[in-house]
Structure 1
């Protein structure tokens, strides 16, 4: 893995921990997202263990962690910042707005050089705003195609599709065998931007071009959504719920009930399906031409606010957070991918992590959403709200994509 560029002397001093151990008492505050689905596996347990170990080795520093659900964490952070009470650190789904408002420490001023160099390059790059790193990747995942082996066998199918034409043919066979939802296409408001991006990538394009300019209405993207509408939705192969009304959580739950033949999924679906006894397989998302194309990657972020002036102590604590033991403990607990090269290599070599290997294999070539653009929040919200209209009966996908491009262009000019 390519290391990040060598950094200045200030980065060498940050994270060394000298004053963290020897200076007066400091309390750091951290607001974090909860990755668990019950009290038993709440992220609170993870952070309690990390903080206990850190405070034991670092007298004089206390770390106060507050954990919120994903439904609440971004709002809580925003409210704290607006009230002039920004936490020292926050771990959530976005960082660019705070970076653009000059509220965050640069990563160079926090982490030691070895920790910075250890991040996977594509994740580190995604943490930059105008080529300066502010977001530290905390957790990652990729998308693969999940398919129900039992339903495939009943439909006379013996493996995952490798092209769009094969996917459509397999969906038709599943439909003929009485499968309720041959292919689940969640374009509802919960996470439509992710399903959309995976399809755009498999069609050879994406939200942006190679230099980061939005190209939502490109010819390739129009072709992708026209194909989806004509070959899957209009033929009744996406189930009884209209894609614009189907959320990811509902699609995952239906797959776990054995009602869905195929869908795009991330690692958490493995546990859901296994808990319900679904015999599933995974494969690369088919490309339009039968070749594998880039898959979508997703990262959640750690950021550090400047307001309280605890940069050196924050850097020392985050150096500890990002050691391999902590990174792997978190990744394995929540079926996520490590954000560092060394932890990724250890996971790839461990047969006990074999179920995560397909996702891990996809990570080096994964493409992340343009999270470094402050405009992305508005564009993502617009996609969630509008993209489902592109596959409705009588719709013209190109018109919807043109409207989204106009929204993106305006937002980008204001970025």
Structure 2
């Protein structure tokens, strides 16, 4: 769950930032008159050369350099499979990029390698971040991770298959899910409810179910609660009511998220939890679908899962002022809205969110966007989280499979999490 943010006096922060900028300019350091070339390593949100994120960054850089001729920006775009490893490689080689737009920031923050948001951004830019996303970017109550792309989760359902099974309304509760899945199975649907607990993104599906059952990975102060009573009850229910009766179409431990998305887009899945990019995939295949808030035990879940990717600024080359100028430009309302609209993501700023809600062309994203302020995020502020996520990927599929024991698996993961958390303090 999101760590509660420590709010500071914006006026005090503004004075401190202004003083720092002035001193840097007077000393001939960052902010001086010399030409500077910034290096940015960014993730690719496209799925082919035609819609690669490189095109987005080319446009942003061109517009920025026209306003700031003494600051050049070189952007290297890598696939999501490679981008985190590329940044890690550069950092370990002693040549960190000035900026990185990747999946996690906490390790670099813990090592003292990053500028804080206060170091880099104007007060107006900081204040424009959606609060829950700003919270999720904190390490030890200081924001180092700047949210870049975001999404939330909703339950997708195939309207045609629902109609063929005689289902008039989408599910609102777990009981509805079980009943509807059985009706879909009786109507010949091979996968009534796709449950992707394979190694690709098990940590996401796991968190979705935790939240819908009133639990989560951590409590409000950031302590792991993986084997809580709520979480154990949730996965016992999933095992007994969906997997064992054969309503998931196979072994969840062998189903990856993308395979589940592909099957839904092919019209072979009745229901699954998904994020906004599934809408584009389903539309391309002509699937008539709907989305609803995640069903909970007795009604819609109180919160949904949110996911954010992160921008960060590295200290190594000392280009603090120039990085700040570029990032203030990147987080301009129009730039944030264009990026989000181009790639089916949710804006990370209040101004761009309001802009998206005001435009009918983004109507299908509105229900996802309205959930964002109250969404819960991975505990990305914890340096132990990568190991915990890896452990969840390896074990959670087996917890609900034949012979699986949710209590034992969740306790094993909890023990691993607590040991890792203690070791990184």
**What is the TM-score normalised by the length of structure 1?**
0.97
Cα distance, 1:63 vs structure 2: 0.1
Q: Which residue of 2 aligns with 1:376?
A: 385
- Aligned runs of 1:13-412 on 2, under 5 Å? 23-240=33-250, 242-412=251-421
Contact (CA 8 Å) 2:21, 2:31: kept in 1 or not? Answer: no
CA distance in structure 2 between the aligned counterparts of 1:14 and 1:296, rounded to whole angstroms = 38
SS at match of 1:159: coil
Cα distance, 1:14 vs structure 2: 6.8
The superposition leaves residues 274-306 of structure 1 with CA deviations (integer Å, 9 ceiling, x where unpaired) of 000000000001001224321000000000110
CA distance in structure 1 between the aligned counterparts of 2:287 and 2:20, rounded to whole angstroms = 49
Contact (CA 8 Å) 1:14, 1:316: kept in 2 or not? Answer: no
SS at match of 1:50: helix
CA distance in structure 2 between the aligned counterparts of 1:104 and 1:22, rounded to whole angstroms = 21
CA distance in structure 1 between the aligned counterparts of 2:314 and 2:306, rounded to whole angstroms = 26
CA distance in structure 2 between the aligned counterparts of 1:399 and 1:289, rounded to whole angstroms = 26
SS at match of 2:312: strand
CA distance in structure 1 between the aligned counterparts of 2:258 and 2:300, rounded to whole angstroms = 29
Contact (CA 8 Å) 2:6, 2:141: kept in 1 or not? Answer: no
CA distance in structure 1 between the aligned counterparts of 2:16 and 2:417, rounded to whole angstroms = 37
The superposition leaves residues 86-131 of structure 1 with CA deviations (integer Å, 9 ceiling, x where unpaired) of 0000000000000000111111110011000110111001111110
The superposition leaves residues 153-192 of structure 1 with CA deviations (integer Å, 9 ceiling, x where unpaired) of 0000012100000100000000000001000000011100
Cα distance, 1:21 vs structure 2: 8.0
CA distance in structure 2 between the aligned counterparts of 1:14 and 1:172, rounded to whole angstroms = 63
Which structure 1 residue ranges, 5 or more long, are not aligned? none
> What root-mean-square deviation, in Å, do the aligned CA atoms of Structure 1 and Structure 2 show?
1.6
CA distance in structure 1 between the aligned counterparts of 2:144 and 2:91, rounded to whole angstroms = 16
Query: Structure 2 residue aligned with 1:12, among 18, 42, 56?
Result: 18
Q: Would the alpha carbon gap of residues 393 and 3 (structure 1) be closer, same or farther in structure 2, given more than 3 Å must change?
A: closer
SS at match of 2:61: helix
Cα distance, 1:10 vs structure 2: 3.4
Cα distance, 1:329 vs structure 2: 0.4
SS at match of 2:376: coil
Cα distance, 1:22 vs structure 2: 6.3
The superposition leaves residues 199-232 of structure 1 with CA deviations (integer Å, 9 ceiling, x where unpaired) of 0000001011121100100010000000000000
Deviates more, 1:11-20 or 1:58-67: 11-20
The superposition leaves residues 217-256 of structure 1 with CA deviations (integer Å, 9 ceiling, x where unpaired) of 001000000000000000000013x111110010000000
**What is the TM-score normalised by the length of structure 2?**
0.95
SS at match of 1:109: helix
The superposition leaves residues 7-32 of structure 1 with CA deviations (integer Å, 9 ceiling, x where unpaired) of 14232367899898861110000000
Contact (CA 8 Å) 2:294, 2:300: kept in 1 or not? Answer: no
The superposition leaves residues 345-396 of structure 1 with CA deviations (integer Å, 9 ceiling, x where unpaired) of 1111211110101101111110011001111111111101111110111211
Deviates more, 1:264-273 or 1:10-19: 10-19
CA distance in structure 2 between the aligned counterparts of 1:80 and 1:198, rounded to whole angstroms = 34
CA distance in structure 2 between the aligned counterparts of 1:301 and 1:375, rounded to whole angstroms = 17
SS at match of 1:338: coil
CA distance in structure 2 between the aligned counterparts of 1:3 and 1:144, rounded to whole angstroms = 29
SS at match of 2:253: helix
Task: Figure out how many residues of one structure are paired with residues of the other and give that number.
Answer: 413
Q: Would the alpha carbon gap of residues 21 and 310 (structure 1) be closer, same or farther in structure 2, given more than 3 Å must change?
A: closer
Cα distance, 1:410 vs structure 2: 0.4
CA distance in structure 2 between the aligned counterparts of 1:120 and 1:255, rounded to whole angstroms = 31
CA distance in structure 1 between the aligned counterparts of 2:375 and 2:108, rounded to whole angstroms = 25
